[in-house]
A and B are shown apart, each in its own frame.
Chain A
Amino acid sequence: MSHSKAATIFNKDEKKVNWHDKALWFVRHKRDISAHTVKGWEELRSLGQGIKAHTLSNLDTYLIQFEKNALNNGVQVHWAKDGDEHNKIVRRILKEHHAKKVVKSKSMLTEECHLNPFLEAEGIEIIDTDLGERIVQLAKEPPSHIVLPAIHKTKEEVDELFQEHLGTKPSGGDPQYLTGEARKHLRQKFIEADVAITGVNFAIAETGGFVVCTNEGNADMGAHLAPVHIACMGIEKLIPKQEHLGVFLRLLARSATGQHITTYSSHFKRPQKGNEMHIIIVDNGRTEQLSRPDFRSSLHCIRCGACMNTCPIYRRSGGHSYDATIPGPIGSILSPGKDLKEHSSLPFASTLCGSCSDVCPVKIDIHAQLYKWRQIITKETPQPFVKKFSMKIMGSIFSKPKQFEQVGKIARWSLRNLPKGMINSKPNVWGKERDLPLGPKESFDEWFKNRKKDGQ
């Protein structure tokens, strides 16, 4: 389904859409307040961008350095070319430990690899432990936002889900009560787990260590209680040195939620005595994206979600409308690189206003890349007849000034005189929810010439 069709479904519940829009804008606002307290914020963003660009240009060297140091630290390192290989590596480690119960803290990579259904088919219990992730897991839905996975759910919906699955009492959606019940339910899962899986926010080549950031403490509860810890990372998570964390940890939480830092920024280097630690380094299309000069900087992304919170389209269409692991503006420049045809509507789900690029902590030119994907998609995938035909006509009108002037005249007259029903007829999708402005009497060109004559 195209983004616009899916967005139409999301927009049926107007009240919910308005709430979604406002809630995300509020998070964007908190980001602004927090970023403005930092002296040199723009320089900090430039550093983030520069360090990431440098790292990508030496990525093979840094990957080898990271692997060497991690091995020296007593960590086992695995490489996976795609999601399938990643999942099989996880399965192999679980089998070696006869593991039946797994707790997982938030990792967009394991979502991307569809790890959960893969392990469930093997009879393994895999529990998402981030509260938002647990909510969408119980609802059998994918996350709709990378930082706020259940932002599309109302508290009443969560109440019902918890009644059904956790046996809670009806509370009318009391967040305090529901969070408390989730804490009890998941505490039990942490205690029982054979293996803990976490994502990786940053991997440090210099030390072989990695950092995981959470507010809930779920990554730590999992990783320190289970005898085996598996950390899954894409190749682009690397940074050269530990001191660079100083840049990225200052940027990440402020951009994500407006906090100055997440509650827990955990630095893992060596396994706890008697325990095992594994790192799986995954490609899954990333080296392909690295080959595209116009799009490789999309790999700078540190997954803060700021571009989603600020995007007027995302806020009003919801994450599920994108039908991709990473929704929103950043997802719309990542996904076409994986499957151009399947995700061909995503780069068009944007007003190209550029707000995403303005808030991006690592200065990815997201809106420019959306525009570039549009050029490629229009050339390489079949376009609807109406769009192709009207573009052709527009192109010919715009190339002939005389004709343009005449058509403009007719259009302005029509907008003033034709009945609304005719103006907002079916081919005019703009008129579905909105009216076009009343046509002015003269064109800009006419106004400008007259103005000159008057000597003003």
Chain B
Amino acid sequence: MGSRDNILSRVKANKPEAIDLPKIDLNVFDDSRNVLDEFIKKVETAGGNVFEATSSENVVSQVKTMFPNAEVNFSNLEGTQRFNSFSLEEIKNPHDLDDLDILILEGGFGVAENGAIWLSDNKMTMRVLPFITKHLVLVLKKDNIVPLMHQAYQKLDSEETDFGVFISGPSKTADIEQSLVIGAHGALSLSIFLV
């Protein structure tokens, strides 16, 4: 008997009698907080910065002012191709993105309770993009924020993705004597533009 059948038969023999799956009652968690205020607060708690913008061009011009010395830039916002210093088609190997300074992406939706933004394959072409970039800029529609993770997964129920990630703040670590350091392996900063 192979390990697969061995494990499965042992599980079958050793498991307890069937226990019902509990139902999730969302009313219990409804805190009636203002989702936009809560979202901004939680992004800042997680070490991210929140800005307002009027259009995609406006995002790009603000980003340029924030990072005047950035050389390798990429944006997937409509009508901002002039910002890009290279074309993604040229990139044969994800390793070649190692010197990426700024990445601007359109975020899927936000979650108020933890300041996370959903990003999926469909918007990323190369999965490593939001992790390998030095600075990550995400653009989010103000009316595209759900209160809790439960509603986030209701949204994702109808979305078919090969890979997706909730990102909350820049990468961080506190592994040296519990001192918080922003910028571990992923992005050194996260800026969120609300439109």
Name A residues whose Cβ lies closer than 8 Å to a Cβ of B: 23, 26-27, 38-40, 43-44, 46-47, 50-51, 53-54, 56-60, 63-64, 73, 79-81, 85, 129-132, 135, 148-151, 153-155, 158, 173, 175-176, 178-180, 183, 186-187, 190-191, 215-218, 220-221, 224-225, 235, 240, 242-243, 245-247, 249-250, 253, 257, 259-272, 281, 283, 287-288, 290-291, 293, 296
Contact = CB atoms under 8 A, between A and B. Distances in A.
Contact of B150 (A64, A217, A243): A243
Interface stretch (B54-62, B68-76, B79-87, B156-164): B156-164
A190 B93 CA distance: 13
Nearest to B160: A269
Contacts of A246: 24, 148-150, 152-153
B176 A158 contact: yes
B: contact size bracket: 35 or more
Most chain A CB within 10 A, of B45, B111, B113, B174, is at B174
A261 B118 CA distance: 13
A283 B175 contact: no
Given A220-B128, A265-B165, A272-B163, A243 B16 contact: no
Nearest to A223: B127
A57 B19 CA distance: 6
A56 B16 contact: yes
A291 to B, nearest CB: 4
B179 A220 contact: no
Contacts of A221: 128, 131-132, 185-186
Contacts of B14: 287-288, 290-291
B81 to A, nearest CB: 24
14 contacts: A26-B178, A54-B22, A132-B175, A215-B173, A216-B173, A217-B131, A217-B186, A224-B131, A245-B149, A245-B153, A261-B149, A263-B46, A267-B165, A291-B13
B153 A243 contact: yes
A173 B177 CA distance: 9
Contacts of B176: 131, 135, 150, 153, 155, 158, 173, 175, 178-179
B15 A175 contact: no
Contacts of B170: 263
B171 interface: yes
Contact of B29 (A43, A129, A263, A266): A43
A260 B177 contact: no
Given A224-B127, A263-B172, A247 B24 contact: yes
Interface in B129-174: 131-132, 148-150, 152-154, 156-157, 161-174
B171 A216 contact: yes
Contacts of A283: 3, 6-7, 10
A324 B181 CA distance: 29
Interface string B1-44: 01110111011111111111110110011110000000000100
Given A215-B171, A267-B163, A64 B156 contact: no
A250 B149 contact: yes
A131 B185 CA distance: 9
Contact of A270 (B8, B12, B25, B162): B162
Contacts of B116: 261, 265
A67 to B, nearest CB: 8
Contacts of A187: 98, 185
Contacts of B91: none
A272 B115 CA distance: 27
Contacts of A268: 163
A231 B161 CA distance: 18
B46 A259 contact: yes
A179 B177 contact: no
B187 interface: yes
A44 B127 contact: no
